[in-house]
Each structure stands twice: as C-alpha cells, then as structure tokens.
Amino acid sequence: MASSGSARAAEAFECRWASSPPVIDGKIDEAVWQQAQVVENFQSAWLPEGRRKPPTASKARLLWDREYLYFSAEIEDTDVFANVTEHDAAIWTCDVFELFFKPATDKPGYYEFEVNAANGKLDMFLPSRGAGGYNRHKAERAFHLDTAVQVRGTL
C-alpha cells in the first residue's frame, strides 16, 4: 500500500495511458514506461507508526490501455526469498509485490494481484474482506495476470 503516513490517508497516484503496449519481459527499458508516474514512499500501513517505512526502497509504475492494466515494480531486498510458484497459491509467504484495487467505495469487493521473485502469481477478485475469502475464491478465473520477473542477485 502506498500511504502518506496514515492508514486512513492514502496518497493518490495517476495511472497514465500507455501509447503502446509494453513487452511483458520483466524489464522497463522501453520508452512507454517513461510515460508512467513513478510511485515511491511505500509504507506498511498496518504496522505501528515509526515502523511503517520498509528498510529498502521500492518503485512502481502503472499504465493502462483499452485492454489491460500494466504495472512494474523495482524492489530492493537484501535477502530475496520465493519458493512458491503455483498459480494462486499462498505466495504471500514469500517476498512479494502486492496490488490491491477497490473499484467502488460503496461496495466491499476488491481485486488482489501478487507477484513474487520466482514469478509466482495470484490474481483474484474478492467480493468482501474476511476470513476464508481466499479459499472460497481462488479457483475462480475471471481474468488472468501475465507476469515476468528479472532478479538481480540470487533467489
């Protein structure tokens, strides 16, 4: 979650139009990625004040076109761990990049996208928060997440 310092006051970021679709290869060297706003200052809003800022830096970029939402993430980590690669498995037990999108403030449903350093992925819509939601909805395949990961270091 990108947060401005409070769990209640999330910072807004612009998801810009992609003039052409980027190649999904885990790299951001194409000109189209330069159009994206760089999102930084990530915080773990669920942690107590003073412990929310991660020890390493992360940067994300978001783009969209008429067909797809594109995102990239550059994440620094001194000890990369990822041993789950099964689609929609419990990849949050690894080092993972997560995106949560809640399209309507008056409805409880949200989208959850996760990718780990081993290119394990989770993509699902959860109609509400609460215990058991993952187990009830992980088999639903309303959409698909195409991903690629470049690891600089060892896994």
How many degrees, rounded to 5, is the angle at CA 1 between CA 44 and CA 97? 95
pLDDT at residue 3, rounded to an integer: 41
| Residue whose C-alpha is closest to residue 44's, from 7, 15, 90 | 7
Three-state DSSP state, 51: coil
Q: Which has the closest alpha carbon to 148: 65, 39, 70, 35? A: 70
Both tokens assigned to 42? 């990530």
* Cross-strand pairs, 138: none
**Mean pLDDT in order along the chain per 10 residues (155 residues):** 47 91 95 95 83 87 94 90 91 89 86 92 82 62 81 83
Report domain extents, the chain. 1-76, 79-143
State the pTM of this model.
0.78
Q: Look at residue 53 in the predicted model and tell me its pLDDT.
A: 86
> What pLDDT score does 110 carry?
85
Tens digits of residue pLDDT in 93-111: 999 998 888 888 898 888 8
pLDDT of 102 reads 85
